[in-house]
Every structure is written in structure tokens, then in C-alpha cells.
Amino acid sequence: MQRTTKAKNLGLKSLSLLVIVTLFLCCAGGHLGKNNSGQFKNGMVVSANEIASQVGVDILKKGGNAVDAAVAVQFALAVVYPNAGNIGGGGFMVYRSAKGEVNTLDFREKAPAKANRDMYLDTLGNPIVDKSLYGQLAAGVPGSVAGMVEAHQKYGKLKWADLVAPSVALANNGFKISARQASELNGLKNRFTKLNPLGTALVKDTKWAEGDLLTQTELGKTMKRIEEQGRAGFYEGTVAEAVVTEMNRGGGIITKEDLKNYQAIWRKPLQSKYRGFDVVTMPPPSSGGIALIQLLKSVEPYPLKKWGFNTDSTVQLMIEAERRVYADRAKHLGDPDFYKVPVEGLMADAYVKKRMASFNWEKASTSAEISAGEVAPAEHEETTHFSIVDKEGNAVAITTTLNGSYGAGVVVKDAGFLLNNEMDDFSVKPGSPNMYGLVGGEANAIAPGKRMLSSMTPAILAKDGDLYMIVGTPGGSTIITSVFQTILNVVDFDMSMQNAVAAKKFHHQWLPDDVAVETNALDSLTSEKLKAKGYKFVSRGAIGRVDAILKTKWGYYQGGADPRGDDKAVGW
């Protein structure tokens, strides 16, 4: 009898323990919502699309590592998320192995050999805006396929073909589009029809609706070639021919040589510290890494935790840091293979401190009075981000893009993939804003074979030798500030990964001299206080679509999938 009661008690105890543990695991992530399904021990993929996240997790389950999964996800996104997922674009990868080895891969697009600095100007020297945004001439030489081949050769474990095969099937068999995708495709029908007179799978006679099957057989053939021939399947032969034919059809300038010569480059990662966390991120030609490190260093001396999330002091400090950092970006950042970027000078503690010295709590600085700082010379709107971690703890952060949503709007006939419009990321004319309102100068002028400056900021944080966070986002110029805010939300404001990603954001980029805010990002008292000091707020729609992973102190992976999109965290 006693035994039975004991056993019962024990049973009840274990049951309550189980309930507590389950509740904890479900709720520790804060309000998980539809984009997030909990915490996992063996690995996780967070991307802009559930099908792509699932493709990645399937690779992890088959014994693939984070890089294998990343390659599979990059290709899957090119099929199921054509607005930004791509093989016709480029991107950056930040890698950190479970043992702490770090590396970064630059597979950014390049200006074709026939490009020249005035190619988007009219006879009076003014930018012809549409020329760098739509059509064949807007495209840089794509880097994504070369990037994936490089990443796989260096770190991959599974067979290449196994990583591409899911995307061949998705393209050929089709997938069900989301309501958001249906509405985008309907909205872009006229542009697609105009830019693709020979037809494309993205256009159909009737309206697209949620759940419709999007089948892309031309893309399927290209994916098959990549599966069978690797890099040559894209940069040479039939696909290269199709690209050149497409260029000739619409006044583009990418040649077979441009394609054959394209190389992805391993670059030395930028590394810094923020409140004891190691930060690993992307060096130029992205401006994102330098800017992120400058921002973190600018705010580190201040007690943000004490002030709290989005209070007037916190917001004011962040705006003033952003103003100074974006002014530097406009002058000093460009492709390091063409321009001496003062990387160390910009990130030096003394330099950042000096930049912040002019900030006055009583009154907003103006962007007219803040120009780029004098730095010690160098010693020598659509993108997508995904974060992946595998069972061993190897981590990958990739941000990849066509630049604008659906890139240049041109689907290469017979090859089925969208061309990027990344040429607009160059300073088409010094001082003239690009599609994100960013200005630039000589450092980012167009030159043949040069990479255009980017804001993409894939980043990985570690603490005491162990992985802590994988983070990144699309959003053009707002990428840098979104990654910055997400890191602060976790490190300073103790938010769960999901809450940090979902939290409302604001953004300042030096020029224009106003602060963009998501609806309800700031309470009215905070914004009134700041307005009285001279800050101008402009409300706007969603800022960023952050997809991130946090390793909790109990060793679980907690996803943050942005509710601003169809993004999804899938783990196992």
C-alpha cells in the first residue's frame, strides 16, 4: 500500500515536473506566435519561408552540418521565395564552427567588365533612376552559385547533389504560394509582363491566389544543371548562353567572360566585443559589419539596461550613434579591392569615442553639422537572411539578395531565374541617394569588376567560447540598425529571441535627417520629449525581417522568426 502511494507520489511528481519543463520550453521564448514552434536541442533553421527552413532541417537530420543545410536553404529560397532568395544575386556568409573557428565568405555581385561610372547618368549628368533598378542593365554579375560551391568545398560534409536536389524537385513539382506572395505577384504583373515579353512562370492570365501552385520548369532545368555540374552548370554552357541572350534582348552588358571569371572570396571576419560577447561579422564590401561594431561601441559606455527598452535616453543615444556611423558609411566605405577602406581606424575605440563627444543630451545634433570623421588611413528593398545551427553547434548566418523585391524584374528566358538589380547599390552619382536614400561618394563609385557597397550584416555572437546568437535581416539601409537593435534587445533588455525579433524598431541613417519609426515603436511621452529636443519622426511600415537563433544557457536553440513576414523557425 505504502509502496503504491509512494509510486503514485513519484508518478505525480514526475508528471508535474514534465508539465513544468514542457511549459518552460514552450513559453521561455516569450510569445512564440505562428512563426516559431519552440526550442530544440539538435539544430535549427530560421528563414523567410517554412518550406526552405524544412529543407534545411531535413539536411541536418540526414547528418549534414550547418554549411550543408545553408547551401540547401539558399537554393530552396531561390525557388520558393523568388522575391529575394536567388541564384541570380549574391550575398555574404558568416561562419563559426563549434570549436570557435570563424570565417566569412563574400559572394557579392560584381560590376560587369563593360560597366563605367557614368552608365546610369543622362547627358546632363543626372541619374536616370529606373536604369539602375529595372531591366537587364541593372544587373551585376551573380555570385550566389559560386558562393555555395566555395562554402560546400571548404566545409560541406554531404554530397553536393543531395543539397541541390530538393530545389530541383520544388521547381519542377511546384509549391503552394502564400497569401502574401499571391498579392505581390498580382501587384507586379504589369512590370513582369513588360520586362519579360517572352513570358515567365511568375505571370499567369488569372489572378494568383493563396495556395496556387507555382511551378518553374525552366528554373528546374537550371537547378538540375547546377546539381550535376556545380559551378559550371551556371557560369558556363547553356545557362551562360541564356544570360547573354537575355542581355542582348534588353541592353544588358554581362558577358560570358564576366560569368566565367566570377569568384567568391573568403575574407577575414571582423571581430569585436560588446559587453563581454564576441561579435563576428562581415567586412567590406559590406558596410554592415563595421557599422554594427561602431554602433555597439558607441553605446557600450552607457547604462542601457538601467534606462530600459525604447526610453527617451536609450532612443536618443541610439539615434545619435546612428547619425555618426551612417555619415562615415557614406564617405569611407566601398569595395576593399578597389578602395582603401580604413577598417581599423573606423572601429578604433578612441575614434568612436571622439565621434560621440559632440553629442549633446539637451538638443538633437543635425546631420548638416555631422559629416564623416577624419579617420586614420587604412594600413594596407528585398533581401533575405537565414540563420542555421547544427547538432555540433556549427553556425551559419547568410544574408542574400537580388536588391529590390524580385530584383531587376527580368527572369532569364530558358534559365528561369531572376536577375538582380544590385548595380543600384553603387553611388550612381556622388551625393545622389539610391533606392534606400543612401548617399555615397568615390569609395563606392562604379568601376568594372568592382563590388557594390552593401549594408548586409550577418553576425554571430559567442560568449566564453560558446555560441550565443546568430542574427541578420533584409531591409536595405535599415539592416544595420535592425541587427543592432535586436542584439541590444537580448543583451541589454533581456528579451527572448522571438520577442527581440518582433519588438518594434526605429531607424536613423544620417541623411535624410529624420527618424523612421514603426507604428507604436515609441510611446507618445517618449516621442514628445524627443521632439522637444529637435528630433523629427516619420512613421513607416515594417522595418526589417530578422531571422535569428539564440542558444539558451540550458543549451537549447531558441528561434526568432520575424512575424512581419511568413518567416519560420524549424528545429529538431
Active site residue ranges:
383
Cis peptide before 377 (omega within 30 of 0): no
Could you tell me the smallest distance in angstroms from the CB atom of residue 438 to ligand DON? 8
Cβ–Cβ < 8 Å for 67, 395: no
Contacting residue, 403, 427, 499, 509, with ligand DON by CB under 6 A: 403
Decide whether 220 or 475 has the Cβ nearer to ligand DON: 475
Which region among 118-126, 132-140, 302-310, 377-385 touches ligand DON (by CB under 6 A)?
377-385
Nearer to ligand DON, 83 or 489 (CB): 83
Q: Which of 216, 298, 401, 509 binds ligand DON (CB under 6 A)?
A: 401
CA distances for 487 relative to 293, 497, 528, angstroms: 11, 9, 26
Provide, rounded to whole angstroms, the least separation between the CB of residue 528 and ligand DON: 31
Q: Least CB distance from residue 545 to ligand DON, whole Å?
A: 8
Nearer to ligand DON, 269 or 474 (CB): 474
Q: Which three cell numbers stand for residue 297?
A: 561601441
Q: Which residues pair with 560 in a beta bridge?
A: 548
Report the nearest approach of ligand DON to the CB of residue 298 (Å).
21
Query: Judged by CB under 6 A, which stretch of 197-205, 273-281, 406-414, 451-459 contacts ligand DON?
Result: 451-459
Q: Which is nearer to ligand DON, 156 or 476 (CB)?
A: 476
Distance CA 250, CA 246 (A): 7
Question: Which H or E run includes 402?
Answer: strand 395-403
- In whole angstroms, the minimum distance from the beta carbon of 404 to ligand DON comes to 7
Q: Nearer Cβ to ligand DON, position 39 or 454?
A: 454
Residue carrying the nine cell digits 513582369: 192
Q: Which of 314, 383, 400, 498 binds ligand DON (CB under 6 A)?
A: 383
Choice from 106, 109, 335, 382 touching ligand DON (CB under 6 A): 382
Q: Give the interface segment with ligand DON, choosing from 29-37, 381-389, 506-514, 560-568 (CB under 6 A).
A: 381-389
Contact 560, 548 (CB under 8 A): yes
CA gap 215, 208 in Å, rounded: 13
User: Computed from CA positions of residues 250, 252, 255, 258, in that sequence, does the dihedral angle turn out positive or negative?
Assistant: negative
Q: Which of residues 327, 395, 456, 543 is near ligand DON by CB under 6 A?
A: 456
Min. distance of Cβ 353 from ligand DON in angstroms? 27
- Residues 334, 341 contacting (CB under 8 angstroms): yes
Q: How would you classify residue 207: left for phi > 0, otherwise alpha for psi between -120 and 50, otherwise beta?
A: beta
CB 441 within 8 A of CB 430: yes
Of residues 514, 377, 399, 382, the one with CA closest to residue 443 = 377
Closer to ligand DON by CB, 239 or 438: give it.
438
How many secondary structure helices (H) and strands (E) does the chain include?
Answer: 19, 19
Q: Which is nearer to ligand DON, 382 or 567 (CB)?
A: 382
Helix, strand, coil distribution of the chain in percent, nearest 5? 40, 15, 45
Q: Which of residues 417-436 bind ligand DON (CB under 6 A)?
A: 422, 425
Sole residue written with cell 538582380 = 420
Distance in Å, CB of 382 to ligand DON, minimum? 4
Choose, by CB under 6 A, the member of 212, 381, 513, 514 that binds ligand DON.
Answer: 381
Q: Which is nearer to ligand DON, 40 or 120 (CB)?
A: 120
Give the burial class of 362: count Cβ atoms within 10 A of its Cβ; 0-12 exposed, 13-18 middle, 19 or more buried. exposed
Q: Binding segment for ligand DON among 351-359, 378-386, 387-395, 411-419 (CB under 6 A)?
A: 378-386
Residues 132, 423 contacting (CB under 8 angstroms): yes
Grid coordinates representing 90 are 549574391
Instruction: Give the Cα separation of 544 and 209 in Å (integer).
Output: 25
Sheet holding 506-507, edge to edge: 506-507, 515-518, 537-540
Cell numbers 562604379 correspond to 446
Rounded (5°) CA angle 464-277-155: 70
CB of 286 vs ligand DON, minimal distance in Å: 7
For ligand DON, how many residues bind (rule: CB under 6 A)? 14
* Stretch touching ligand DON by CB under 6 A, among 145-153, 376-384, 502-510, 525-533: 376-384
Q: Choose among 34, 38, 18, 2: nearest CA to 571.
A: 38
Nearer to ligand DON, 227 or 382 (CB): 382
Q: Which stretch binds ligand DON (CB under 6 A): 15-23, 449-457, 489-497, 529-537?
A: 449-457
CA distances from 475 to 158, 290, 483 (A): 32, 17, 10
- Given phi > 0 = left and psi -120 to 50 = alpha, else beta, which region is 543? beta
**Cβ-based nearer residue to ligand DON, 94 or 364:** 94
CB of 35 to ligand DON, least distance (A): 18
| Per-residue mark of binding to ligand DON, 467-506 (x: CB under 6 A) | -------xxx--x---------------------------
Give the footprint of ligand DON on residues 523-562 (CB under 6 A). none
Of 49, 132, 200, 455, the one binding ligand DON by CB under 6 A: 455
33 closest CA partner among 509, 523, 497, 360: 497
Per CB under 6 A, the segment of 70-78, 186-194, 198-206, 380-388 that binds ligand DON is 380-388
Min separation Cβ 150 and ligand DON, Å: 19
> Between residues 38 and 283, which has the closer beta carbon with respect to ligand DON?
283
Shortest separation between residue 69's beta carbon and ligand DON, angstroms? 22
Q: Which member of 281, 454, 486, 509 binds ligand DON (CB under 6 A)? A: 454
Applying CB under 6 A, which residues contact ligand DON?
A: 381-383, 401, 403, 422, 425, 454-456, 474-476, 479
